[in-house]
Amino acid sequence: MSGSRRAGVWWHRRSLKLRLALWFTLIAGGLMLALLPVVYSLIRSRLSADMDRQLRIDWDLIEAHLETDGAGGIRWRSSSPATPDSPGYAESWFDVWMEGRNVLRHWPKHGAEVLDAPPAAGKQDPRYYRISLANDQPARTYQKPAVIGGRLVTLRVFRDESGHRATLRRIVSSLALGLPVAVLLAAAGGTLLAGRALRPLGTMAEQARQITSESLAKRLPVANPHDELGQLAGVFNETLGRLEASFESLKRFTADASHELRTPLAALRTVGEIALREEHDPAVLRDTISSMLEESQRLHDLIDTLLMLARVESGRHPLQHETIDINDLVREVGERLEVLAAEKQQRLAIRTSPGVAVQADRGLLDQALTNLLHNAIRFSPSDALIEVSAVRRGGDVLVEVADEGPGIAPEHRAKIFERFYRVDTARSRSAGGSGLGLALAKLAIEQCDGRIDLEPSPAGGCLFRIILPAAP
Ligand code: ADP
**DSSP conformation letters of 419-466:** TT--SSHHHHHHTT--S-HHHHHHHHHHHTT-EEEEEE-TTSSEEEEE
88 pLDDT higher than 80: no
Predicted local distance difference test score (pLDDT) of residue 458: 81
DSSP state of 470: B
For the beta carbon of residue 77, count every other beta carbon within 10 angstroms: 12
Instruction: Find the mean pLDDT for residues 262-283.
Output: 85
pLDDT score, position 110: 56
| Mean pLDDT (the chain, rounded) | 88
Contact 346, 391 (CB under 8 A): no
Q: Tell me if the pTM is above 0.75.
A: no
In sequence order, what E strands does 308-430 have?
321-325, 347-351, 357-361, 385-393, 396-402
Ligand 1 atom 11 nearest Cα: 422
**Residue 245's pLDDT is what?**
87
260 confidence band (pLDDT: 50, 70, 90)? confident
Q: DSSP strand E in 344-470: where?
A: 347-351, 357-361, 385-393, 396-402, 451-456, 462-469
**Amino acid type, 80:** S
Establish whether residue 419 lines the binding site of ligand 1, counting it when its CB lies within 6 angstroms of any ligand atom: no
Ligand 1 and 406: CB distance under 6 A: yes
CA distance 318 to 312: 8
CA–centroid distance, 255 to ligand 1, in Å, is 20
| pLDDT value at residue 427 | 64
Name the percent of the chain lying above pLDDT 90: 41
The pLDDT of residue 137 is 79
pLDDT at 465: 97
Ligand 1: atom nearest CA of 406 is 25
Higher-confidence position of 400 and 261: 400
Highest mean pLDDT among 56-70, 85-99, 330-344: 330-344
Choose the residue to mutate in 408, 413, 418 for probing ligand 1, maximizing ligand atoms within 8 Å of C-beta.
408
Question: In sequence order, what are the residues at sequence separation of 6 or more whose Cβ sits closer than 8 angstroms to the Cβ of residue 418?
Answer: 439
Judged by average pLDDT, the poorest of 88-102, 174-188, 194-208, 397-411 is: 88-102
Q: What is the pLDDT of residue 117?
A: 78
| Per-residue pLDDT at 341 exceeds 90 | yes
- Flag whether pLDDT at 108 surpasses 70: no
Higher-confidence position of 92 and 341: 341
Q: What is the pLDDT of residue 431?
A: 65
pLDDT, tens digit (0-9, with 9 covering 90-100), for 397-445: 999 999 999 999 999 998 999 988 888 876 666 666 778 899 999 999 9
Say whether pLDDT at 136 is over 70.
yes
Q: How confident is the model at residue 374 (pLDDT cuts 50, 70, 90)?
A: very high
Per-residue confidence band for 109, with pLDDT thresholds at 50, 70 and 90: low
Sign of torsion over alpha carbons 163, 164, 169, 171: positive
- Rounded mean pLDDT of 165-170? 91
Q: What pLDDT digit, counting tens, does each position of 283-303 carry?
A: 888 988 898 998 898 889 888
Respond yes or no on whether the N-terminal peptide bond of residue 37 is cis (omega within 30° of 0). Answer: no
> How many C-beta atoms surround the C-beta of residue 325 within 10 A?
16
Q: Whose CA is nearest to atom 13 of ligand 1?
A: 422
pLDDT tens digits, residue range 20-44?
Answer: 899 999 999 999 989 989 999 999 9
Find out whether the beta carbon of 118 lies less than 6 Å from any atom of ligand 1.
no
Measured from the Cβ of residue 311, the count of other Cβ atoms closer than 10 Å reads: 12
Query: Do 457 and 404 form a contact (C-beta atoms < 8 A)?
Result: yes
pLDDT of residue 472: 84
Rounded distance between C-alpha atoms, residue 397 and residue 393, angstroms: 6
CA 2 to ligand 1 center in whole angstroms: 68
Distance 381 CA to ligand 1 centre (A): 14
Q: Which region among 125-134, 148-157, 341-350 has the lowest average model confidence (pLDDT)?
A: 125-134
Contact status, residue 56 vs residue 159, Cβ threshold 8 Å: no
Q: Looking at per-residue confidence, does 312 or 449 come out higher?
A: 449
Distance CA(322)–CA(165), nearest Å, equals 89
